[in-house]
Structure 1
């Protein structure tokens, strides 16, 4: 995240966000019968399966929205993309969104994105080690090198909490930044002692003999809401009807995905490189339609304690 907001802060301070509404070839369609062309910045991971499923099922089309998903590398691209108008909506984990909010980036969440299953050993994110590693519990991570996909973000926050709950010093863990797909090789070569991963890397590493030592989202908070869909405050002010219709379609998509896991596994192959065999083994997250606000408050408190934020996140401004 050290690369995240050098550009975002500039965008927020510039004040010239005229392009932040819908794209020039789209318009409000609430009463006119027209169609809004909407771009959503997403990360091509299991978390966003519901929006692809909702697109297939016509949930957005039924609300006069022509939906296009564009892949970003993460919050560093998606948050400023939403603020500048490249995307009308985006998907990001809550720690990234809170970092942005403490930098006064003008964004607002509109719908839940993805949540923990709440089950130890049966969640979609965890810290893993090789099968012969001497690390047995999260407390053994003290003084060890642990890979995360982004430093000073949700990965190291929830991992530190797992260490603390296991009786260790959460401040004394050495995090190494690398992309999720590189973590298995780094583990096997001994470049890191443990890896914080999410699906599909979690199932891939376990299939190769790896062991899970901490269900970090579960340790962080009960039924943690991990991520959300969001928009710019300008679009919210300029076209509240579009935001309302998009939110309704997302909520219908989340509910459908949560009730139809096999269709989720099928849709994964349409936007990721996950093959059918691996898709059948993945631990799916939960997709509730409501943001669990107490869990986000806990995540904010943990991140603040770990020095991730420049100030105290204002959840009243960020949450719907």
Structure 2
């Protein structure tokens, strides 16, 4: 595992399909090559052949590849894995004739709503929205099938704020209510003795704000700080004279905690395990390449940021943000327990059993085939 920097701008939360802003609309990508995938265009006709192999993940039979997969992600450095997988063709190579349709989101809750509504099949996303999507549907909506990144989030503030005691009465932004950074901010404030609520009131006012708007508001003096993913935390430091008050890595053992996971709808996982396996094989290849080719990986990420967001990330911002994350296939499942507890404590997640949220069967199969060690689900895998 290699340490990377990275969170690309979390731009508007609406997906490409439903509309970013007219200027940012881009054609959906259709990729194809040899490997996994179905030659058929109608999923309903894509049934297993007689004598198909044994049951795989989710109980479906092998050979049920989908004609397409609609994949969500953010245009952020912390989503380097899907950006590299798309730009360098790793997903396309493994998916074969299965068409991949990317959709960009600003934050996790919006992606979860798209998954619930059936407009996407899988998405790269933060842990807290994953938990919320799982618990709000009694465990029916999704499964976490792989990790993607660790780290890459910080609380940045005005220069005259030197510690928690200076935050009383201040206005602090987060990307979206219920998102991973939103929960981290609320939990940290609560631990430091402040009362906060979801209405924006309390000792410290937490204001969910799109990342691009957060930068502009901080530059105008309308915000006192923000808990942000990369590259937005770095952008506020370099472009708005902010300083880092809390690097979230300092709050976790060995500085490791899940920032980005890959989740798949349970329906899609059950019906198309071969397609999910192809996607994960593409991810593992993309991550291996990124670790071995960091400069090329940064360029690939910026190329995709430019395509989906309309402009590239400044090189000094990218270079400063890149070392703040680590790319990994490990979902760091043990950290999810604490994140779940924090979400409940701050009132943005229902208190329900999260056992069964992981299904790492396919990931560990792919890792084993590549000669890599298996990753653990911390006892939160498929129920026996």
Q: TM-score range by the shorter chain?
A: 0.7 to 0.9
2:294 aligns with: 261
Spell out, residue by residue over 1:97-128, the C-alpha distance to the aligned partner (whole angstroms, 9 max, x if none).
11111111511111112211xxxxxxx22111
Shift in CA distance, 176/67, structure 1 to aligned 2, threshold 3 Å: same
**1:181 paired to 2:184:** no
Q: CA RMSD in A?
A: 3.0
Is the 8 Å Cα contact of residues 173 and 225 (structure 2) preserved in structure 1? Answer: yes
Equivalent position to 2:232, from 185, 196, 201: 201
What does residue range 1-320 of structure 1 map to in structure 2 within 5 Å?
A: 25=42, 36-63=67-94, 64=96, 65-104=98-137, 105-116=140-151, 124-131=152-159, 133=160, 135-163=161-189, 167-169=192-194, 171=196, 172-208=203-239, 209-219=241-251, 222-272=255-305, 273=311, 274-284=313-323, 285-318=325-358, 320=360
| Compared CA separation, residues 99 and 226, structure 1 to 2 (3 A) | same
CA shift for structure 1 position 146: 0.7
Distance 2:63 2:350 in 1: 44
SS at match of 1:230: strand
Cα displacement string for residues 113-170 of structure 1 (whole angstroms, at most 9, x for unaligned residues): 2211xxxxxxx22111223x2x1023432442211111233223212444466x5436
Q: Which is worse superposed, 201-210 or 31-40?
A: 31-40
Q: Deviations over 1:10-30 (max 9, x none)?
A: xxxxxxxxxxxx995465899
Aligned residues: 290
1:181-213 per-position Cα deviation (integer Å, ceiling 9, x unaligned): 122332233322211222222222211321111
SS of match in other structure, 1:269: helix
Give me the whole-angstrom Cα distance separating, in 2, the residues matched to 1:213 and 1:249: 37
Consecutive unaligned residues in structure 2, runs of 5 or more: 1-12, 14-37, 53-61, 197-202, 306-310, 361-384
How many angstroms does 1:241 deviate by? 1.6
Q: 1:174 to 1:295 in 2, by over 3 A?
A: same
Structure 1 residues 217 and 299 mapped into 2: Cα distance closer, same or farther (>3 Å)? farther
Q: 1:175, 1:220 → 2: CA distance? A: 22
Change (3 A) 1:71 1:160: closer
User: Residue 151 and residue 316 in structure 1: after superposition, are their counterparts in 2 closer, same or farther (change >3 A)?
Assistant: same
Q: Which runs of 5+ in 1 are unaligned?
A: 5-21, 117-123
After superposition, what is the alpha-carbon deviation per residue over 1:201-239, rounded to whole angstroms, capped at 9, x for unaligned?
222221132111111354256411112111111111111
Corresponding residue for 1:16? none
Structure 1 residue matching 2:147: 3-state secondary structure: strand
Q: Secondary structure at the match of 1:316?
A: coil
Normalised to the residue count of structure 1, the TM-score between the two structures is 0.79
Change (3 A) 1:24 1:218: farther
Query: C-alpha offsets along residues 246-266 of structure 1, whole Å, 9 cap, x if unaligned?
Result: 122222222332343212210
